[in-house]
Amino acid sequence: MSNNIPLTKESHEALQEELKRLIREERPKVIQDIAEARSHGDLSENAEYDAAKNRQGFIEGRIMELQGKLARAHVVDLTGLKPDKVVFGATVTLYDTASEEEITYKIVGEDEADIKLGKISCTSPVGKALIGHKLDDAVKVVVPAGTKEYEIIEIKYE
């Protein structure tokens, strides 16, 4: 199994920006907060010091996590490709045959998924079922609520 983490270009850029902000702004600020809290004396009863040290631990952990993700990132670029089938990064409009409603999802990586924004993970039941299918295909998906049937009515690479 590959250690690569598939990311959209937007997600990759967002992770890079967060990493820069943590390193350039948050890390120096928490170091300054720790130094200031130390100057207040007894560290064993210093809540400011404890809070700053906890915040430092969180920041350093997040920096390491982001560096690891970015090192293993595989940015999927769909520009120039003909949107003839559902792939990672595609935006897919589906027709739900049971509810007779249209739903649009973007197939993204696990870290990017947010159903409220219409982004579903490529490893979710719906995401897995859609990948590889073409326009006008009927797709049956086993979800926790039962089996859903969708028809793919539009595929876009944005």
State which amino acid sits at residue 27.
Answer: R
Arch. (CATH architecture) of 90-157: Roll (3.10)
Average pLDDT of the chain to the nearest whole number: 90
Residue 129 has pLDDT above 90, yes or no: yes
Provide the pLDDT for residue 48. Answer: 87
> Where exactly are the structural domains of the chain?
5-75, 90-157
Provide the pLDDT for residue 1. Answer: 41
Which of 35-49, 61-75, 77-91, 125-139 has the lowest average pLDDT?
A: 35-49
Residue 65 has pLDDT above 90, yes or no: yes
Residue 40 has pLDDT above 90, yes or no: no
Q: What mean pLDDT is predicted for residues 97-121?
A: 91
Q: What mean pLDDT is predicted for residues 43-59?
A: 87
Q: What mean pLDDT is predicted for residues 50-73?
A: 94
Q: Are 48 and 32 in contact (CB under 8 A)?
A: no
Spatial CB neighbours of 26, under 8 Å, sequence gap ≥ 6: 59
Q: Are 67 and 22 in contact (CB under 8 A)?
A: no
Does domain 5-75 fall into CATH 3.30.465.10? no
Provide the pLDDT for residue 2. Answer: 55
Q: What mean pLDDT is predicted for residues 78-93?
A: 87
For residue 138, CA distances in Å to 58, 108, 141, 157 come to 46, 21, 10, 20
How many of the other CB atoms lie within 10 Å of CB of 41? 10
Q: What mean pLDDT is predicted for residues 93-110?
A: 92
Residue appearing with tokens 């004396």? 41
Provide the pLDDT for residue 127. Answer: 93
